[in-house]
């Protein structure tokens, strides 16, 4: 089950002839062993010129130098291609901070995956506006911060959350059914780094009580959406979605219950894509190299 | 494959103790052999008192009288229970008029089912605003009416459609990707009898070019919705929905192509439920006894 | 979210005219308020005469007597109809014993549901052939029994498991990825009361390492099956199944990972149906009144 | 909707460093504009060394030479990499011969797609062991051959089918619910060129009457499998599969009816992958570059 150490390059640049040849040529000239390659050409549209997206995994010990030098040597080619790019190291675990409220399903699900090393990250702390899961989280050896959020203390509360996230050197913030709308400042501070699970198949049923909205509308499938958080409520780039069938005999409580199974699965999948550097954003959309 | 003749009772009434006992007792006292029973109690809500929905299939020749007498004998009980009710006869084929435009997928799909008697109805005629499928329809022995619809002749065109529908004694009108918005008069004339297939997972992407809307939004699943037509565009009671997975590599044309497979399947399923008297409406929602 | 106390009747009997009328008449005569009714007529086949299956929920306080008297009064009618029947009480929680091994996903999932009262049962103890989850289980306040199973002690181990199950008055035993084949004696002792989750879409890939079998075969979907345990390995009546899409890029480890999400969901759904008395068996098949 | 002319390279070779660099370098040096690239590295296993699979679409008019010269210039690199390879031209339509029997659903479905140019191929003829669809096929302007198959004439019948397939220069033979087992000679003559739709989720329910087998087993989902035909009945490489949910109330006839919707969709998807050169085989498995 253990995979060898590898580096992951994710990059996008204006489309032109020869991008793949140049990038794969760079690695080939250093005998880099490519484990996985994903490519996508987004064609010209009325609003934007064509753009090329790529993700490569290269075996770390196949290269004759370390990550720092890889980055240094790759930079000139990236500059020539006018690339947005980054290279990550599978040996450096991402640091993920969870924000939860009083619902257990996403929290249990993520901690089960973390326990089994399926979710192979550091969780430096978990933050909640309630103390419901303090004992459960601490039993797992993870620090728990109870930061109540009220109408009066919102500014201070979100500042404190940001302070903690910085202090623990968080890479990614996950709203695992956190039930609070983040401040615009917090959203703006971490674009593409805050992940939410919304309990509807967006763009249907934005906002509060989506299962009750779905019940009132009489839809025959309900869903959930994992997306990046932006200042625009429930409108950020969609990473993953799924649905489940319901019928007339299901009450709003039944929809909530079915929905929880979709929410936790969709959040786990979307988070995994993000942590494995499989998600690139393009305007308000995502390219997901599964 | 051939099923014996049966009568189908569909009914709804205010909920109270003993409805099932009284209705099933009625049939038992006449030795009626019940083939299938479906029941649903919609509980009290803020907006409406509880209501009971039922559908029964009873073997025709198990009863000691014919349909007319069955209706006559059942009427007093139905009145006592304050029921909306109807009884249909499996030996009387429904008469279904299809409205199509220039897209072939739903038309071919429905005619294949009709040929195989899977869709066991009369199709007295097919109406289109284009003559694209005239030959194909007529080859099947079905009359074809070409009624162009322009900005100028809309009123007259929809009057003519209504005239034909009346003339052929149509039971159900099916918009099999008809691509025209019916007149309010036509919608009002046949509540619960006109079925549309909309090419999105409603309530997302109402109106024109839903696949392009879906592409722009970057959703990860696209869908289709079969619903009753009301004067309120794409807002009528939903009968059936389904979705299919797409990703960033799919162009709007790909979405259109994937969508066609969902559209024809969802329309066929929804239409079948309707024709088998499995769909009861309750406000703007449906009970579907599958 | 809290539902009122109700009794659930599940029954099957030879099909004939008037069963529903008699049973619903019985409840109506006592002013019993029926919350939910599910009916199924299994038609005559070459191997067996037609049989009728039913499930009714009746509001407890709508009846003028308690459960014991309800059973006593219903018995003569049941005898007349030659019924297999039982009536359960929503106020009496079922007692569920979990058997686990070293995999965490089903255990975390079921305990999350139990914590949230979505799975509204007593868990008198959890048994494992490893001590991996001792601390986790005990943190939840649930007794944990570590009963190693080796080639040499199988008979004794399964006797001990049976002894504990009897001692805690277990209703249902759940093999939550237990990874051991139960003794024929244990299987025979609790027909329809032991539930397993098998990690394939049965009848494909019976036995060991089904995901590796699926990988070798190159199937495009993998699945999981929740079924009653019988002495015939992986052949008991199927309660619930589901699948997920995979492709050529997925390794056996990926299939294991995807599979875990299906396993826990399918087990939870199947177990819920069982605990709510929604599953009736008929030969080696199930009727599931969802 | 119209796409520009392009060439499609499909290739596989032993895995080693630099394959992508060399192949993409070849196209870049000639200013070839790559529209789509798909890559897959099959790792070393106990039974076989690692192998690399690729598919590239290159815009025809971006290259300074025609297809014949492209093949000639690419050949030395392919030889150096020890490649199995082919290059096809989007301007040359594939020639697809359909074999049908008395069931209409796959035939109507494929002809609808062909009419709409969604299935953009030549259909030089359709062959059947019954004359049921003679008129329907001929109405579409496609020659129809009625070749009855009996216990006595099998050898001659399949020889005649092969003769016609050769005469019309067929590329691909599609068994669209043909219901006859091809002769071993015919299977052997066209490896990877005969596509079948089997009406079960293989490897479950091989052989005859799979829906009845599924009914007897009591599975909760039924499916269909599109696969290449080999001499080993229902065992050839799987191209595509899908499933649909069923329950205890569905009769074998219902399963047949639900199954038809899955069959035609799975066949159409699998055939499309094949015709777009998206399917590469590796032993008894497929790589499908969707």
What structural domains and CATH numbers belong to chain B? 6-89 (3.30.70.260), 96-288 (3.40.50.170)
Mean of pLDDT values over B30-45: 93
Q: Do the Cβ atoms of A223 and B219 come within 8 Å?
A: no
pLDDT of residue B122: 98
Mean pLDDT per segment of 10 residues, for chain D of length 290 residues? 85 96 97 95 87 97 97 98 98 98 97 96 98 97 98 95 98 96 95 97 92 95 97 94 96 96 98 98 95
pLDDT of residue A279: 98
Q: Do the Cβ atoms of C202 and D219 come within 8 Å?
A: yes
List the chains bordering chain D where 3 or more Cβ pairs fall under 8 Å: A, B, C
pLDDT at residue B105 is higher than 80: yes
Instruction: Assess A42–D contact: CB distance below 8 Å, yes or no.
Output: no
Q: Do the Cβ atoms of A219 and B204 come within 8 Å?
A: no
pLDDT of residue D1: 43
CA distance A262 to A214: 15
CA distance A290 to C245: 12
Query: B56 and B40 in contact (C-beta within 8 Å)?
Result: no
Q: ∠ CA C29-C33-C37 to the nearest 5 degrees?
A: 100
D260: chain B residues, CB-CB within 8 Å: 118
Rg over alpha carbons for chain D, rounded to the nearest Å, is 21
List the chains bordering chain C where 3 or more Cβ pairs fall under 8 Å: A, B, D
The dihedral region occupied by B240, where left means phi > 0, alpha psi between -120 and 50, and beta the remainder, is: beta
pLDDT of residue A44: 87
Judged by CB atoms within 8 Å, which residues 115-174 of B form the interface with D?
115-116, 118, 135-136, 139
C243: chain B residues, CB-CB within 8 Å: none
Q: Do the Cβ atoms of D17 and A31 come within 8 Å?
A: yes
Beta bridge mates, A52: A13, A41
CA distance C235 to D219: 11
- Quote ipTM for the complex: 0.94
Name the strand (E) or helix (H) holding D155.
helix D154-167
pLDDT of residue A2: 54
- Number of residues that this document lists for chain D: 290
Look up tokens 């070019």; give the residue: B209
B37: chain D residues, CB-CB within 8 Å: none
Catalytic residue among B120, B171, B232, B234: B234
Query: C219 and D238 in contact (C-beta within 8 Å)?
Result: yes
C40-47 contacts, C-beta under 8 A, 24 or more apart: C40/C287, C40/C289, C40/D248, C40/D249, C41/B34, C41/B35, C41/B36, C41/C15, C42/C15, C42/C282, C42/C287, C42/D248, C43/D251
Name which of C243, C247, C248 is nearest D221 (Cβ-Cβ): C243
Name which of D105, D118, D253 is nearest B112 (Cβ-Cβ): D105
- The percent of residues above 90 in pLDDT, for chain A, comes to 94
Distance from CA of D18 to the nearest CA of A (A): 5
Mean pLDDT of chain C: 96
Q: Are strands D126-128 and D144-146 parallel, antiparallel or unpaired?
A: parallel
Distance from CA of A73 to the nearest CA of B (A): 31
CA distance C59 to C90: 10
Catalytic, B234? Answer yes
CA distance B26 to B24: 5
Instruction: Assess A2–D contact: CB distance below 8 Å, yes or no.
Output: no
pLDDT of residue B102: 96
> What DSSP letter does each residue of B123-161 carry, written as one string?
---EEESSSTTHHHHHHTT--EEE----TTTHHHHHHHH
Name which of C205, C238, C249 is nearest D220 (Cβ-Cβ): C238
pLDDT at residue A98 is higher than 80: yes
CA distance A158 to A221: 35
Tally C-beta pairs within 8 A across A and C: 46
**Band of pLDDT at residue B2, cut at 50, 70 and 90:** low
Name which of B20, B31, B35 is nearest C34 (Cβ-Cβ): B20
Beta bridge mates, A173: A97, A194
Q: Could you give the count of Cα atoms lying within 13 Å of C69 in the half-sphere of its Cβ?
A: 7
Instruction: Return the residue in D17, D29, D33, D38 with the most chain A beta carbons within 10 A, the one to mutate for interface testing.
Output: D17
Query: D160 and D147 in contact (C-beta within 8 Å)?
Result: yes
What residues have CB less than 8 Å from A247, skipping those under 6 apart? A220, B288, B290
Instruction: Assess D261–B contact: CB distance below 8 Å, yes or no.
Output: yes
Instruction: Assess C112–A contact: CB distance below 8 Å, yes or no.
Output: yes
Report the residue of chain A nearest D17, measured CA to CA.
A33
CA distance D236 to D285: 8
Q: Could you give the count of Cα atoms lying within 13 Å of D102 in the half-sphere of its Cβ?
A: 3
Backbone φ and ψ for B60, nearest 5 degrees, come out as -60, -45
Instruction: Return the residue in B2, B23, B24, B27 with the most chain C beta carbons within 10 A, the one to mutate for interface testing.
Output: B24
Q: What is the pLDDT of residues C32-79, one digit of tens each?
A: 999 999 999 998 888 789 999 999 999 999 999 999 999 999 999 999
**Band of pLDDT at residue C2, cut at 50, 70 and 90:** low
pLDDT of residue B45: 83
Name the strand (E) or helix (H) holding A282.
strand A279-282
D112: chain B residues, CB-CB within 8 Å: 104-105, 107-109
Cα dihedral C196, C201, C207, C212, rounded to 10, equals: -130
Catalytic residue among A44, A234, A247, A254: A234
Rg over alpha carbons for chain C, rounded to the nearest Å, is 21
Q: What is the pLDDT of residues B205-251, one digit of tens each?
A: 998 899 999 999 999 999 999 999 999 988 999 999 999 999 999 99
Mean of pLDDT values over A1-25: 92
CA distance A227 to B220: 11
Name which of D202, D247, D287 is nearest C248 (Cβ-Cβ): D287
CA distance D157 to D153: 6
D289: chain A residues, CB-CB within 8 Å: none
* The three-state (H, E, C) secondary structure of A73-118, written as one string: HHHHHHHHCCCEEEEEECCCCCEEEEEECCCCHHHHHHHHHHHCCC
Beta bridge mates, C145: C127
Q: What is the pLDDT of residues B139-190, one digit of tens each?
A: 999 999 999 999 999 999 999 999 999 999 999 999 999 999 999 999 999 9
pLDDT of residue D45: 83
Instruction: Return the residue in A9, A20, A25 with the most chain D beta carbons within 10 A, the one to mutate for interface testing.
Output: A20
Identify the DSSP state of C126: E
Name which of D1, D257, D268 is nearest B253 (Cβ-Cβ): D1
Q: What is the pLDDT of residues D74-88, one digit of tens each?
A: 999 999 999 999 999
Instruction: Assess A266–B contact: CB distance below 8 Å, yes or no.
Output: no
CA distance A106 to A123: 15
C115: chain A residues, CB-CB within 8 Å: 104, 108
Mean of pLDDT values over A77-98: 98
Q: What is the pLDDT of residues C108-154, one digit of tens each?
A: 999 999 999 999 999 999 999 999 999 999 999 999 999 999 999 99
Mean pLDDT of chain A: 96
Instruction: Assess D111–B contact: CB distance below 8 Å, yes or no.
Output: yes
Q: Do the Cβ atoms of A218 and B201 come within 8 Å?
A: no
Mean of pLDDT values over A154-163: 96
D273: chain B residues, CB-CB within 8 Å: none
Instruction: Return the residue in D18, D42, D288 with the most chain A beta carbons within 10 A, the one to mutate for interface testing.
Output: D18
Find, among D63, B251, D58, D57, the residue nearest to A44 by Cα.
B251
Query: A226 and A236 in contact (C-beta within 8 Å)?
Result: no
The H-assigned helical ranges of C44-130 are 67-80, 105-115
Mean of pLDDT values over A124-128: 98
Q: Do the Cβ atoms of D21 and A27 come within 8 Å?
A: yes
Distance from CA of C129 to the nearest CA of A (A): 18
Query: C113 and A113 in contact (C-beta within 8 Å)?
Result: no
Query: D125 and D99 in contact (C-beta within 8 Å)?
Result: no
Which residues of C are the active-site residues? 234
Beta bridge mates, A70: none
Q: Which of A96-110, B37-51, C84-98, D141-155 has the lowest mean pLDDT?
A: B37-51
Report the residue of chain C nearest D241, measured CA to CA.
C220
Instruction: Assess B82–A contact: CB distance below 8 Å, yes or no.
Output: no
Q: Which two tokens stand for residue D128?
A: 């059947």
- Does residue C32 sit in helix, strand or coil? coil
CA distance D271 to D252: 27
C247: chain D residues, CB-CB within 8 Å: 288, 290
pLDDT of residue A3: 77
pLDDT of residue B1: 43
Q: What is the pLDDT of residues A217-252, one digit of tens each?
A: 999 999 999 999 999 988 999 999 999 999 999 999
Instruction: Assess D46–C contact: CB distance below 8 Å, yes or no.
Output: no
pLDDT of residue A233: 87
């Amino acid at each position: 089950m253990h995979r060898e150490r590898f580096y992951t390059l994710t990059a996008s640049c204006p489309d032109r002839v020869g991008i793949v040849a140049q990038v794969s040529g760079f690695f080939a000239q250093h005998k880099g062993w490519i484990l996985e390659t994903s490519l996508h050409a987004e064609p010209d549209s009325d609003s934007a010129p064509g753009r090329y997206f790529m993700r490569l995994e290269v075996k770390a010990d196949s290269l004759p130098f370390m990550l720092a030098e890889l980055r240094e040597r790759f930079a000139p080619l990236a500059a020539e291609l006018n690339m947005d790019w980054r290279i990550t190291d599978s040996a450096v675990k991402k640091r993920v901070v969870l924000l939860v409220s009083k619902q257990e399903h996403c929290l249990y699900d993520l901690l089960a995956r973390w326990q089994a090393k399926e979710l192979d990250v550091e969780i430096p702390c978990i933050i909640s506006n309630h103390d419901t899961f303090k004992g459960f989280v601490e039993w797992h050896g993870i620090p728990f911060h109870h930061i109540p959020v009220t109408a009066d203390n919102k500014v201070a509360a979100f500042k404190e959350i940001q302070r903690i996230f910085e202090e623990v050197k968080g890479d990614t913030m996950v709203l695992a059914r956190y039930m609070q709308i983040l401040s615009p400042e917090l959203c703006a501070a971490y674009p593409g780094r805050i992940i939410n699970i919304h309990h509807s198949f967006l763009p249907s049923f934005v906002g509060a009580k989506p299962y009750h909205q779905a019940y009132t509308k009489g839809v025959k499938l309900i869903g959930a959406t994992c997306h990046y958080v932006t200042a625009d409520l429930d409108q950020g780039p969609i990473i993953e979605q799924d649905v489940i069938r319901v019928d007339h005999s299901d009450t709003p409580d039944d929809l909530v219950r079915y929905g929880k199974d979709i929410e936790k699965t969709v959040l786990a999948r979307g988070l995994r894509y993000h942590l494995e550097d499989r998600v690139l954003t393009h305007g308000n959309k995502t390219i997901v190299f599964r």
